[in-house]
Amino acid sequence: MSVVRNRTAPPRIRLGILSGEFFDLRLGKRGGFGKNARTVGAFFRDRPELGVDVVYLHGWGQAPSHESVWELDGLPLIRCPEVSGPRLRRWFAYRSLLRRHRIDLLLTVDYHPAYKWVLYALPGTPSVVWARDPRTPGDWAEIDTLSIPGVEGRPPDSLPFDARDFRRVYRVWRMLGRQLVVAAPDPFVASKVRQVYGVRFRNIGHLPTLLDMVPVPVRKSPRPRVIFLGRLDPIKRPWVFWRLAERLPEVEFICLGASHFPYPAHGWQPVPLPPNLQWLGHVDGHARAELLASAWVLVNTSIHEAVPTSFLEALQCETPIVSCQDAGGLVSRFGIYVGRFPGDGLAAVPHLEGALLALIQDEQRRVDLGRQGRAWVESACSPDRFLTDWHALLGELGFRRSRRVAEQSYQPGAAAKESRT
């Protein structure tokens, strides 16, 4: 990476990344939001010439006062101190802790009503709300049909919340003259923001998903291999993947992900596994990348998705997608979309089976979709694209000088080149 040294040191931005999870079981689930938060944090940590110092802020995690400041990936992480007494007293303690860290800019990973306590604690801090999965009433209605096979009633996960609570927060920002922009990683996600947040934003910016996949050669397995990537909570409907494995014994099925849900207490036993199914649990780093790059197809069985990071990672590894969710047309473009199936999703099994066989039996189609998907991801989710859009958002917030400094110190193309080496 080429760095131009200036005579005077540029001002640095202290960025608070606010999330309810950080891809660490000590801090919540291992989900996409936490992975997105840590990927952005590591991106700026590894590029100090960009002038951004990151602090992680836990959206609702509490800790004893002596453990309210941690270190994660070499960066500070702040949690709300546990203070006896009313909630307001705890909030004042958290506000004092946040203000001591002198945060210049907030980046919220999606929006949740619990975030408002951090936002109210820093009323003068410019903010970027990075909408990742804003769920409309129609989305929640479909999720409400979710059921585990053979069990009546909806499993108690992914409980709905009203993100229009954001409208009250936004009014406070406006009254205080606070600078705020909303950005989304994809037009499909952006199309939901105004309805879900209850605010008629004049403009919704763009901030793509950053990927942190370890570069590996694309070597597809000799035997047909299908992969599932994601946590195994009910909203992902892993039992559909299990059923697919039973119907296609000649295909190797690999499941990457751990469950945060007590299935045996709710009527489904994930074991014994079909003989052709390997459940490897949480896998990261080089091993994860190699498995994705060896797979012929990624299968997604969820009842709901926005544009999941797992789709982008699969395409980066030239692995096409078969899914019940189209992710704004992404699956139709780089795989096969089989349609939406509410409830337990078992009605989707023959459709998913047919789509899998169509790709398994057509090597040229499979290869073409994978290569096209990789080319798209490397353009749409590149570090250069992220920085260009990041600078545009900072410009909207008034960080003009910082944008010029970053453009002077950062050589376009360097990050993308670095990510492929």
Q: Give the pLDDT confidence score for residue 88 in this predicted structure.
A: 79
Say if residues 137 and 87 touch (Cβ distance below 8 Å): no
3-state secondary structure of 355: helix
Confidence band of 156 (pLDDT split at 50, 70, 90): confident
Residue 294 has pLDDT above 60, yes or no: yes
Residue 410 has pLDDT above 90, yes or no: no
Q: Give the pLDDT confidence score for residue 61 in this predicted structure.
A: 67
The pLDDT tens digits for 353-396 are 999 999 999 999 999 999 999 999 999 999 999 999 999 999 99
Q: Mean pLDDT throughout 31-40? A: 91
Residue 1 has pLDDT above 70, yes or no: no
Helix (H) or strand (E) segment spanning residue 279 = strand 277-281
Give yes or no for a cis peptide into 262 (omega within 30° of 0): no
Confidence band of 67 (pLDDT split at 50, 70, 90): low
Locus of tokens 């489904």: 268
Tell which residue, 325, 332, 289, has the closest CA to residue 306: 325
Residue 317 has pLDDT above 70, yes or no: yes
CB-based burial label for 190 (10 Å; 0-12, 13-18, 19+): buried
Q: Give the pLDDT confidence score for residue 415 in this predicted structure.
A: 45
Q: Which amino acid is at 48?
A: P
Confidence band of 65 (pLDDT split at 50, 70, 90): low
Within 10 angstroms of residue 276's Cβ, the number of other Cβ atoms is 16
Distances (CA, A) of 78 to 12, 70, 100, 118, 343: 20, 6, 11, 11, 39
Q: Please, what are the domains in the chain?
A: 13-131+162-210+381-415 (3.40.50.2000), 225-379 (3.40.50.2000)
Q: Which amino acid is at 246?
A: E
Residue 114 has pLDDT above 50, yes or no: yes
Tell which residue, 44, 386, 404, 401, has the closest CA to residue 183: 386
Residue 157 has pLDDT above 80, yes or no: no
Confidence band of 9 (pLDDT split at 50, 70, 90): very low
Both tokens assigned to 401: 């000088």
Residue 201 has pLDDT above 60, yes or no: yes
Round to whole Å and give the CA distance between 85 and 82.
Answer: 10
Residue 64 has pLDDT above 70, yes or no: no
Terminus-to-terminus CA distance in the chain, angstroms?
12
What residues contact 36, with CB distance under 8 A and at least 6 apart?
19, 109, 130, 132, 209, 210, 309
Residue 211 has pLDDT above 70, yes or no: yes
Kindly calculate the radius of gyration of the chain based on its CA atoms and give it in whole angstroms. Answer: 22
Q: In the chain, what percentage of residues exceed pLDDT 90?
A: 61
3-state secondary structure of 67: helix
Phi, psi (5° rounding) for residue 336?
-130, 120
Q: Give the pLDDT confidence score for residue 14 in this predicted structure.
A: 95
Q: Give the pLDDT confidence score for residue 11 in this predicted structure.
A: 79
3-state secondary structure of 77: strand
Confidence band of 133 (pLDDT split at 50, 70, 90): very high
Q: Give the pLDDT confidence score for residue 6 in this predicted structure.
A: 43
The pLDDT tens digits for 233-267 are 999 999 999 999 999 999 999 999 988 777 877 77
Round to whole Å and give the CA distance between 319 and 316.
Answer: 7
Its pTM surpasses 0.75: yes
Tell which residue, 176, 169, 161, 174, has the closest CA to residue 202: 174
Say if residues 108 and 88 touch (Cβ distance below 8 Å): no
Helix (H) or strand (E) segment spanning residue 136 = none
Average pLDDT value over all residues in the chain: 88
